[in-house]
Amino acid sequence: MDKRTKILKAAMELIAENGFHGSPMATIANRAGVGAGTIYRYFADKDVLINETFKEVEGRLNGVLAENYPADRSVRERLYHYYIGLIGFFIENPMEFKFLGQYYDSPYGVALRREKIFSQSSNDYGSETIKSLFEQGIAAGEIKDLPIVILFALFIGSLISVSRDHIFGFIQLDRRLAEQTADACWDAIKR
Amino acid sequence: MDKRTKILKAAMELIAENGFHGSPMATIANRAGVGAGTIYRYFADKDVLINETFKEVEGRLNGVLAENYPADRSVRERLYHYYIGLIGFFIENPMEFKFLGQYYDSPYGVALRREKIFSQSSNDYGSETIKSLFEQGIAAGEIKDLPIVILFALFIGSLISVSRDHIFGFIQLDRRLAEQTADACWDAIKR
Amino acid sequence: MDKRTKILKAAMELIAENGFHGSPMATIANRAGVGAGTIYRYFADKDVLINETFKEVEGRLNGVLAENYPADRSVRERLYHYYIGLIGFFIENPMEFKFLGQYYDSPYGVALRREKIFSQSSNDYGSETIKSLFEQGIAAGEIKDLPIVILFALFIGSLISVSRDHIFGFIQLDRRLAEQTADACWDAIKR
Amino acid sequence: MDKRTKILKAAMELIAENGFHGSPMATIANRAGVGAGTIYRYFADKDVLINETFKEVEGRLNGVLAENYPADRSVRERLYHYYIGLIGFFIENPMEFKFLGQYYDSPYGVALRREKIFSQSSNDYGSETIKSLFEQGIAAGEIKDLPIVILFALFIGSLISVSRDHIFGFIQLDRRLAEQTADACWDAIKR
DNA sequence: GATGAATGAGCTTTCATTCAT
DNA sequence: AATGAATGAAAGCTCATTCAT
């Protein structure tokens, strides 16, 4: 693993566990097995490091969601793919989930979301495609005619809550339970 | 307003905007219009201040939810009361919403949630009663027979997502849209 | 007990136990059962309070030493009176001993000693009289012809060391042992 | 001189002159010619710095006492070596003397003395050996059969008093006077 | 390129002192 | 006369960042 990747991994794990201010640069360097100064050869400052860490995680997440994408199946099945895929990714990558949680509720994440939404180029959690699925579903009369943002909130909000409860140990989520949750979520958005 | 209240308010607002470590005690004191040392006459340390701030907000939230509670109406209407009430509170009190977001995703909030869930005495976001509403609904065959935690996630997750999108300006939520969202959420949990 | 006395007592005890910086004015006031501001009605500031506390203890010590003073006995017996009297006072008043220890090794005590020695009016630990006893003893050929300061060091140094060891529990000093120590000390200074 | 040594020296001098709380870390750093944060690269906190400073001084003192130790001479001459050696060290190193005075009368020193005395491994001021000299002297009938602690008090108490009087300028101690004092002290402990 | 020792601004907290009541 | 709430300067300590090696 090259130094840059090791630094990103160390940052992600540390921030997931301890938050931003529980993750000094020296500790990140230490965990990455590099010198403290070395981080600055790859990232201009801590803000940049954090944003790059986010991008790396987002990239992997999008990669997983793109796998086995049932492009030729119904809107419902494609949404299902995302719902189950996201829960699966989070459960298998609890560090990444926690990191994203830290990130989204911080100034970093808020700025990012604002930028994405207003620039219309959003693919947050793969959402651009999710958005288009909603649009197709609405057009086809399959999905409630609500603002996309509302549909998105129903979709993503439940999914994140459920994943968090699993990761923090409040419930044991298996495949069947995840599917039941996805079905319930579908009930929320289907017409 | 007495000094204690002014300090709590200043802490809540600053933390809402800047997070815990973007809120030095000196700045809180400054915004509250008191000396730095004065905070320590009311709160033992920063942790205590933060937890007391949470309790104050939680108290007000529970107060609002208790108003006009339709105790003699159907389970659906009572859940509706909570859903709309929570969204209403958050929209009218965006600082409080942001503060709670900071708090819940911090070690403070995680510890609290763990304690509440496992001690069974939870009234997180008024959730004890929500929990009992779910139980009644399940018993009556009105609500899906899913784990309470899942139902809770569907309920609270969507509600928070929607509130956040409004507060961050991604959507303009009015009474009608809130009700439509509540209806959609009901579709998710109803049998 | 009047307020002034209560404050002096509280200061002495607290300083004995915790040193100067372990004794905030607020704590002294608290222990004395008065308001924090009240101290300043009796003492200009903390320095004055500490110096007055010293004077009070010194006064009581001198009072004890003056009791049953064998003015008409031999130099040896009069020195003996001081030696045993000082040890006795310290053992019965360990707080006072510890306070004096704090005081003597602090800037307060050094300044005081300097002042006393150079002003020739010293009666530090009753020392003026001790000094005159040494002078009489030297003149009579009973005591070694050494500088008074040296004799004083032999006398007071051993006495304090022994008292401290008792107070800190390193030895159990009874009357007989105290007398043996006094005898040994006499051997040091006698010709 | 390396940074660690400069910090130890600065701490020792400042504490000697002003005591522990008259010696802020910032001032120590300043006098040592290093940044405030630098101290913490070498010492975990102020307590550790103080204890390490003590150990450094103690080490040098023990080194001096070990020089030219007359191992094959009489008990009296060996005690003499310590007595004169200690006075000599203190007079040549008044800062170190004052520092040790601060240290011994502080919680640090009391804890240390307690530990040393009860653990029997004491070499406080080189005292383990002094203690064994007392034991040999008692066994040989040369020294009074008093508790070691008492003998030690007679020995060390006078020595410290005399050194302090010299350092504070109350007397001018030369070799001859030091020896006379040592002789007087021997009179105190010899049978 | 890589390092990690060094830095100092900035943090939380304490406490001697003041002053309105 | 007595109070104790309020203050803010100053303390110990952390950590993002730099730079000589």
Interchain CB distance below 8 Å, B171 and A149: yes
pTM equals: 0.88
Looking at every residue in chain A, the average pLDDT score rounds to 89
Q: Which residues is A190 bridged to in the sheet?
A: A143
CB D28 within 8 A of CB D7: yes
- Residue A182: C-alpha distances to residues A162, A171, B148, B151, D51 (Å): 10, 16, 15, 12, 62
Does pLDDT of A123 surpass 90? no
| For residue B114, pLDDT beyond 50 | yes
DSSP C142: S
Mean of pLDDT values over D32-54: 96
Rounded CA-CA distance A78/A140 in Å is 15
Q: What is the pLDDT of residue A112?
A: 63
Across A8-30, average pLDDT: 95
Residue B107 has a pLDDT of 64
pLDDT at D131: 86
| pLDDT of A129 above 90 | no
Q: Across residues D89-109, what is the average pLDDT?
A: 87
The model's pLDDT over C50-87, given as tens digits with 9 standing for 90+, comes to 999 999 999 999 899 989 999 889 999 999 999 999 99
Which pairs count as long-range contacts for B126-134, CB under 8 Å and 24+ apart, including other chains?
Answer: B126/B61, B126/B62, B126/B65, B126/B82, B126/B86, B127/B152, B127/B156, B129/B82, B130/B79, B130/B82, B130/B155, B133/B75, B133/B78, B133/B79, B133/B82, B134/B189
Q: How many other CB atoms are found less than 10 A from the CB of residue C72?
A: 7
* Residue A143 β-bridge partners: A190
The residue in chain C having the minimum alpha-carbon distance to the alpha carbon of residue D111 is C168
Half-sphere exposure of A91 (CA within 13 A, CB side): 21
Residue C16 to residue D44: CA distance in whole angstroms: 28
Residues of chain A in contact with residue B147, where contact means CB-CB under 8 angstroms, are: 171, 177
Average pLDDT over residues A150-167: 92
DSSP secondary structure letter of residue D44: S
N residues, chain C: 191
Distance separating alpha carbons of residues B15 and C96, to the nearest angstrom: 50
Q: Which of B51-55, C107-111, D38-42 has the lowest mean pLDDT?
A: C107-111
D116-134 pLDDT, tens per residue?
555 544 444 544 578 889 9
Categorise residue A126: left if φ over 0, alpha if ψ from -120 to 50, beta otherwise: left
Model confidence pLDDT, tens digit, residues D145-183: 999 999 999 999 899 989 999 998 889 999 999 999 999
* b (16+ CB within 10 A) / e for A47-70: eebbbbbbebbbeebeebbeeeee
Nearest to D153 by CA among C70, C184, B110: C184
Whether C156 contacts chain D with CB within 8 A: yes
* pLDDT at position D117: 52
- What is the CB-side half-sphere exposure of residue B36 using CA atoms within 13 A? 5
- The footprint of strand F (CB < 7 Å) covers A 21-26, 36-37, 40, 45-47; B 3, 34-38, 40-42; C 3, 26, 34-38, 40-41; D 21, 23-27, 36-37, 40, 45-47
Nearest residue for E3, CA–C1': A35
Indicate which of C149, C189, C190 best probes the interface with D, i.e. most D CBs within 10 Å of its own CB.
C149
| Domains annotated on chain A, with CATH | 63-189 (1.10.357.10)
- pLDDT, one tens digit per residue, over D49-89 is 999 999 999 999 989 999 999 989 999 999 999 999 999 99
Is the pLDDT assigned to residue D23 strictly greater than 50?
Answer: yes
Mean pLDDT (whole number) for C141-169: 92
| pLDDT score of D115 more than 80 | no
Share of chain B above pLDDT 70, in %: 88
pLDDT for B121 equals: 47
So what's the pLDDT on residue D127? 45
Q: Is D176 on the interface with C (CB under 8 A)?
A: no
- Across the range C90-95, mean pLDDT stands at 95
D101 and C102 in contact by Cβ < 8 A?
A: no
Write the DSSP symbol of residue D174: -
Rounded CA gap, C119 and C131, in Å? Answer: 14
Contacts of A188 (CB under 8 A, 6+ apart): A154, A158, B154, B158, B184, B185, B187, B188
Q: Quote the CA–CA distance of D46 and D24 in Å, as a whole number.
A: 9
Q: Is the pLDDT of residue B127 over 60?
A: no
Bigger pLDDT: B1 vs B119: B1
Residue to mutate among C87, C152, C154, C159, with most D CBs inside 10 A, is C154
Taking an 8 Å cut-off on Cβ atoms, the answer to whether C165 and D149 are in contact is yes
Whether the Cβ atoms of residue A82 and residue A130 lie closer than 8 Å to each other: yes
* D27 pLDDT more than 50: yes
Of A154, A156, A184, the CB nearest to B144: A184
- Cα separation, B15 vs B105, whole angstroms: 13
CB D36 within 8 A of CB D24: no
- Residue B133 pLDDT exceeds 50: yes
Q: What is the pLDDT of residue A114?
A: 61
Residue B123 has pLDDT above 70, yes or no: no
Paired strand residues for C143: C190
Which pLDDT score, from 0 to 100, does residue B111 have?
62
Confidence class for position C141, pLDDT limits 50, 70, 90: very high
Distance CA A175, CA A29 (A): 38
Of the candidates C20, C44, C11, C28, which has an alpha carbon nearest to the alpha carbon of residue C106?
Answer: C20
Chains B and A touch (3+ CB pairs under 8 A): yes
Amino acid A176: pLDDT: 95
Distances (CA, A) of B122 to A165, B113, B130, B145: 15, 8, 10, 21
- Smallest CA–C1' separation from B20: which nucleotide? E11
CA terminus-to-terminus distance, chain B? 49
